[in-house]
């Protein structure tokens, strides 16, 4: 067999894997760019490379308003996540565990917010707030964020509840646990990873939201809003530091839990 | 992995519908569980849609004061707005359509690779697909602007190699906006595709290979039809946000690339013309809902929730 045929065979066998490497390179290109330029020195706009420095990382609040906006985003994200996760989990349990009249309209009201473009959600909430004469600010942002996070929490938690083996709960009941005890000691721990995942999803949706926040925030600045408005005059390198840091943090959490999970799964078998 | 499970349920049936599940608790329990969340959605999603419709039928107040409008039920607002902004409306759907097709072309082989070739790295690669979500999407969009910008390494190299003419720019163009939409919404396509490809029975593919011999025929007659739920869900999840997006057009496009979202935003904040903004939002939503319901007739509501 000539070398060329062997190369062609290998390429044919591994074409999909090679494609995967290229696709992931594409997916990570802008993130790599952001990480590299978080070490860029000098200047306000961070458009061209001016030399390596760690100054941005040691002083992430150095640029005006960056940390104020970040703090607001974190506060809003945490509040919205807590409320949306609780409300969404309750709905998920109702849908996965109970039969009731009005299932179809319920499903529709959960599905529609996910099928409506953000700009329409944003415009409709703004018209409501304008008609009621509500002052825009923290409260209106959190109201909006909870609204668009609930549906995603429902979908994520419902999947987890539905995949539970009902025999585990029946066994607990047979062992003289009452309903509350069974829920607390058996059901909740089993569903907890799903709820945690849903909360993480809700937080990332809220933290990264720009369009709905822009319509409902009034004068309150958030991190995405800060980045968007400073795009005209140049984004300070500190914003790149925060972007990189949040990415690494979430990445470590998610990959860490994933690795721990797969290790547990391997130990079990 | 929450996002993965979102994708997974998008294409799966509703397990609660199984008839043998025992009914627990009292009759009121499900309603008590539903009440707070559904009330939130009713007040802050359904009611605003109604006020949006109301606002879309308003006309400027006779006092001429800026930002003051009267409820006049002027349905001609719709004809006016559609006529005036038909270019941006059509453009939004064309851009979103092209981006959706590109996402499908990029995402399908990627999802297939993760499902069948990744082995024990499968879950990790799935995390990598959604990893960009952890980094601000506006920062990423701006990063593309700078990577593809005039001073960027790629454009300089291409120009030195005479691949593109010296005067050409990759940013502030139709290409840049569509590329941005494609990049930003790729995970929304890949996850549901993965969820449905993962459940393919490899034996069916083997049988298809024995039957047809040609990999392309197997793809067309076995793989694609069986993964249709994933394709439908992914297409919707990509197309809907892409059609309403205005960040990509604002950051990567020029004046000639404005989409309907840009018009709505500027009608609200620069022109203070709430009725037109509301009318256009409503047209966008109606157009999208028509498309969604055409799809749902094939897939069923519960399967999409």
pLDDT for the residue numbered A117: 92
Q: According to the 3-state scheme, what is the secondary structure of chain B?
A: CHHHHHHHHHCCCCHHHCCCCCCCCCCCHHHHHHHHHHHHHHHHHHHHHHHHHHHHCEEECCCCCCCCEEECCCCHHHHHHHHHCHHHHHHHHHHHHHHHHHHHHHHHHHHHHHHHHCHHHHHHHHHHHHHHHHCCHHHHHHHHHHHCCCCCHHHHHHHHCCCCCCCCCCCCCHHHHHHHHHHHHHHHHHHHHHHHHHCCCHHHHHHHHHHHCCHHHHHHHHHHHHCHHHHHHHHHHHHHHHHHCCHHHHHHCCHHHCCHHHHHHHHHHCCCCHHHHHHHHHHHHHHHHHHHHHHHHHHCHHHHC
Q: Which residues 54-73 on chain A approach chain B with CB closer than 8 angstroms?
A: none
As a whole number of angstroms, the distance between CA A214 and CA B239 comes to 22
Q: What phi and psi, each to the nearest 5 degrees, are found at residue A40?
A: -80, 140
Is B170 within 8 Å of B148 (Cβ atoms)?
yes
Nearest-Å Rg of the Cα atoms of chain A is: 24
B205 shares contact with chain A (CB less than 8 Å) = no
A149 shares contact with chain B (CB less than 8 Å) = no
3-state secondary structure of A210: coil
Q: Which domains does chain B have, with CATH numbers?
A: 24-48 (no CATH), 57-203+229-304 (1.10.3720.10)
**The two three-digit tokens of residue A84, written as one number:** 């949306």
Query: DSSP states of A136-189 as a string?
Result: PSHHHHHHHHHHHHHHHHHHHHHHHHHTS-HHHHHHHHHTT--HHHHIIIIIHH
Smallest Cα distance from A78 to chain B, Å = 15
Bigger pLDDT: A186 vs B100: B100
pLDDT for the residue numbered B173: 86
Q: Which domains does chain A have, with CATH numbers?
A: 3-55 (no CATH), 64-235 (1.10.3720.10)
Of A48, A124, A239, the CB nearest to B52: A124
pLDDT for the residue numbered B22: 47
pLDDT for the residue numbered A60: 83
A134 shares contact with chain B (CB less than 8 Å) = no
Average pLDDT of chain A?
Answer: 89
pTM equals 0.86
Out of A157-166, A176-185, B216-225, pick the least confident.
A176-185
Bigger pLDDT: A21 vs A232: A21
Cβ atoms < 10 Å from Cβ of B79: 11
**What value, to the nearest 5°, has the Cα angle with vertex B258 and ends A113 and A238?**
75
Q: Considering only CB atoms, which chain B residues are within 8 Å of A130? A: 274
Quick check: A150 and B133 CB within 8 A? no
A260 shares contact with chain B (CB less than 8 Å) = no
Q: Considering only CB atoms, which chain A residues are within 8 Å of B14? A: 95, 162
Quick check: A179 and B6 CB within 8 A? no
As a whole number of angstroms, the distance between CA A98 and CA B22 comes to 9
Q: Considering only CB atoms, which chain B residues are within 8 Å of A210? A: 137-138, 247
- Torsion A80-A106-B93-A25 (CA) sign: positive
pLDDT for the residue numbered A43: 66
DSSP state of A125: H
Q: Considering only CB atoms, which chain B residues are within 8 Å of A139? A: none
A158 shares contact with chain B (CB less than 8 Å) = yes
Q: Which residues 209-238 on chain A approach chain B with CB closer than 8 angstroms?
A: 210-211, 214-215, 223-224, 227-228, 231, 235
Give the pLDDT confidence of A101-159 residue by residue, as tens digits: 889 999 999 989 988 999 999 999 999 998 899 999 999 999 999 999 999 999 999 98
Give the pLDDT confidence of A68-78 residue by residue, as tens digits: 999 999 999 99
B294 shares contact with chain A (CB less than 8 Å) = no
Q: B35 to each of A8, B43, B132, how far by Cα in Å?
A: 61, 12, 35
B71 shares contact with chain A (CB less than 8 Å) = no
Bigger pLDDT: A193 vs B5: A193
Q: What phi and psi, each to the nearest 5 degrees, are found at residue A135?
A: -75, 130
Q: Which residues 124-153 on chain B approach chain A with CB closer than 8 angstroms?
A: 124-125, 127-129, 131-144, 146-147, 149, 151
Q: Considering only CB atoms, which chain B residues are within 8 Å of A34? A: 135, 139-140, 143
Out of A60-64, A188-192, B284-288, pick the least confident.
A60-64
pLDDT for the residue numbered A269: 62
Mean pLDDT of each 10-residue bin along chain B, 305 residues long = 41 43 64 94 96 92 81 89 93 95 96 89 87 88 86 74 73 89 94 91 88 84 87 90 94 91 92 91 91 70 44
A184 Cβ neighbours under 8 A, 6+ residues apart: none
Quick check: B284 and A120 CB within 8 A? yes
pLDDT for the residue numbered B3: 42
DSSP state of A128: H
A14, A21, A110, A115: best to mutate for the B interface, most B CBs within 10 A: A115
Q: Which residues 21-60 on chain A approach chain B with CB closer than 8 angstroms?
A: 23-24, 26-31, 33-34, 37, 47-48
In the predicted model, what is the mean pLDDT of residues A33-59? 83
Give the pLDDT confidence of A202-218 residue by residue, as tens digits: 998 999 999 999 999 99
Quick check: A119 and B183 CB within 8 A? no
A154 shares contact with chain B (CB less than 8 Å) = yes
Quick check: A194 and B2 CB within 8 A? yes
Q: Considering only CB atoms, which chain B residues are within 8 Å of A198? A: 2
């Amino acid at each position: 067999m000539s070398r060329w045929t062997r190369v062609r065979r290998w390429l044919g066998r591994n074409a999909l894997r090679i494609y995967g490497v290229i696709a992931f390179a594409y997916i990570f290109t802008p993130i790599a760019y952001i990480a590299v330029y978080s070490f860029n020195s000098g200047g306000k706009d961070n458009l061209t490379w001016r030399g390596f420095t760690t100054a941005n990382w040691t002083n992430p609040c150095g640029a005006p308003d960056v940390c104020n906006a970040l703090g607001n985003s974190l506060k809003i994200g945490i509040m919205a996540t807590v409320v949306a996760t609780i409300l969404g989990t309750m709905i998920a349990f109702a849908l996965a565990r109970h039969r009731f009249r009005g299932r179809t309209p319920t499903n529709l009201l959960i599905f529609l917010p996910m099928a409506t473009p953000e700009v329409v959600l944003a415009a409709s909430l703004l018209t409501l707030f304008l008609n009621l004469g509500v002052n825009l600010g923290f409260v209106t942002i959190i109201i909006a964020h909870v609204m668009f996070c609930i549906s995603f929490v429902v979908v994520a938690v419902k999947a987890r509840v539905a995949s539970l083996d009902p025999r585990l709960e029946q066994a607990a009941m047979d062992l003289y646990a009452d309903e509350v005890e069974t829920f607390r000691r058996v059901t909740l721990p089993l569903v907890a990873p799903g709820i945690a995942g849903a909360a993480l999803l809700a937080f990332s949706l809220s933290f990264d939201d720009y369009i709905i926040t822009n319509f409902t925030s009034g004068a309150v600045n958030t991190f995405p809003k800060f980045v968007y408005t400073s795009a005209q005059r140049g984004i300070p390198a500190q914003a790149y530091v925060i972007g990189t840091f949040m990415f690494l943090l979430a990445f470590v959490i998610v990959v860490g839990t994933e690795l721990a999970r797969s290790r547990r799964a391997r130990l079990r078998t | 992995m929450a996002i993965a499970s979102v994708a997974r349920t998008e294409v799966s049936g509703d397990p609660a519908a199984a008839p043998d599940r025992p009914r627990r608790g009292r009759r009121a329990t499900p309603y008590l569980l539903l009440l707070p969340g559904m009330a939130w959605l009713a007040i802050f999603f359904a009611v605003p849609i109604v006020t949006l419709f109301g606002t879309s039928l308003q006309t400027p107040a006779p006092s001429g004061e800026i930002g003051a409008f009267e409820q006049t039920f002027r349905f001609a607002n719709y004809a006016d707005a559609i006529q005036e902004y038909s270019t941006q409306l059509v453009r939004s759907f064309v851009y979103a359509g092209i981006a959706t097709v590109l996402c499908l072309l990029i995402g399908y082989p990627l999802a297939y690779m993760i499902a069948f070739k990744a082995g024990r790295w499968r879950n990790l690669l799935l995390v990598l697909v959604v990893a960009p979500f952890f980094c601000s999407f506006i920062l990423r969009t701006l990063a593309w602007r700078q990577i593809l910008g005039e001073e960027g390494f790629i454009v300089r190299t291409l120009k030195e190699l005479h691949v593109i003419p010296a005067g050409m720019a990759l940013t502030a163009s139709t290409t840049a906006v569509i590329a941005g939409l494609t990049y930003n919404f790729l995970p929304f396509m890949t996850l549901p595709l993965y969820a449905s490809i993962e459940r393919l029975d490899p034996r069916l593919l083997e049988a298809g290979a024995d039957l047809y011999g040609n990999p392309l025929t197997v793809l067309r007659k076995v793989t694609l039809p069986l993964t249709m739920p994933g394709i439908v869900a992914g297409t919707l999840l990509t197309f809907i946000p892409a059609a309403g997006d205005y960040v990509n057009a604002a950051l990567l496009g020029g004046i000639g690339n404005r989409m309907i979202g840009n018009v709505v935003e500027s009608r609200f904040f620069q022109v203070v013309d709430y009725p037109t903004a509301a009318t256009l939002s409503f047209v966008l939503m109606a157009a999208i809902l028509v498309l969604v319901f055409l799809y749902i007739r094939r897939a069923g509501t519960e399967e999409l929730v």
